[in-house]
Amino acid sequence: MNRVSTIVARLNEGKRLSTASLAAEFETSDRTIRRDIALIKEVFGEFLINDNGMIYAIQKELLDNVLTPDEISLLKGALGLAERGGLSLTKKMDKKEREKLTGKISEYERLYTFKTRPFEEFNSRPELFRELERAVKFHQEIRIDYLRDGEASVFIARPYSIVFLNENFYLASELFHEGIPSLLLSRVAMIQSIESTGELFRPDPSFLKFVERFQTSWAKYYPKADGTFDEREVKLQISGEVARYFKLKKFLPSQKVVSHLDDGDIIVTYTVTSVWEMVPLCRQWLPHIQVHYPRSLREILLREAQAAVEKLRQQPARTYGGCKRG
């Protein structure tokens, strides 16, 4: 990541960069630099010009013209966490480049205020994150000692990425049970230790694509014979009373508003790897949603609603200041 951060900072200054020179500077291959450039394009969009191996930006100021305010807020948080943890995102970044980037972010702070939940800190365990970085980078199979709610578990897994999701850090790994792969999403704060098994693995392109696409901690990996993985469409009808919120915001990256009904309702679709990815969102907006499909999602919500009603019925009436309230 330090390579990519440095390249972005130089592009932000309006510099023309040679892929060959970058490869020599960072002691890597042209192919690796081209992958870095592809990653920058994927994150920031198609703003680069490649002129016979010379790379430069169409728009000089990335922070002014490419990043949105909420992305700038996230970038600030990520850079701050990396600084405190001594991780590879910033530890080899040129001081002047880092100062310019953080200075530009400070300009936005005078204009915007973000009331987000705090980021999960990791500065108390920087060595664990560096071990995870090495395991991901070099495709090392690892043993994970995990502690959740006082219950200890041990997994042998293949780590693919450190994922920042819902203000928490997770390790996304491929886990095998009787030869069948699945997703192991481990909360980093609950990892007690990791240790290399001494085995290396070749990343599975299907699982790599899955890690790029999954949207929530409820994701499930179901590989298919054709080298892809199972995804399903969810179709919801949103009441006109709350439709504006779904028009203004994507609650999941795959959200699409596909039609507007005469009564003000809207039809929204999502592409997910498991119906359980939709359950928290649907809970939040009941009773303002109808599930068109899949039926399994509707049945899950119905069971939960029935259980909640039954629990409320069983609660005893309480007395407040001599007055009985049900």
Tens digit of each residue's pLDDT (9 = 90 or more) over 165-190 = 877 889 999 999 888 999 999 999 89
Range list of H helices, the chain: 2-12, 19-25, 30-44, 62-65, 69-85, 95-109, 126-137, 205-213, 243-248, 279-285, 295-314
Rounded Cα distance between 55 and 44, Å, is 15
Coil, helix or strand at residue 292? strand
End-to-end CA distance of the chain: 58
Distance between CA atoms of residues 276 and 295, nearest Å: 12
Beta bridge partners of 290: 237
Q: Which residues of the chain have pLDDT under 50?
A: 59-61, 66, 92
Name residue 125's amino acid.
R
Residue 175 structure tokens: 């886990």
Tell me: the pLDDT tens digits for 2-60?
688 788 888 777 788 888 888 888 888 888 888 888 777 766 655 666 667 777 765 44
Side-chain-side CA neighbours of 306 within 13 Å: the count stands at: 6
Say what the pLDDT of residue 31 is: 85
Tell me, what's the pLDDT at 138?
94
pLDDT at 60: 45
Given this model, what pLDDT does residue 30 score? 85
Sign for the pseudo-dihedral over CA of 284, 289, 295, 298: positive
In this predicted structure, what is the pLDDT of residue 167?
A: 76
pLDDT reported for residue 26: 86
Asked whether the beta carbons of 279 and 297 are under 8 A apart, the reply is: yes
- Residue 3: what pLDDT? 82
CA distances from 162 to 89, 226, 310 (A): 12, 27, 41
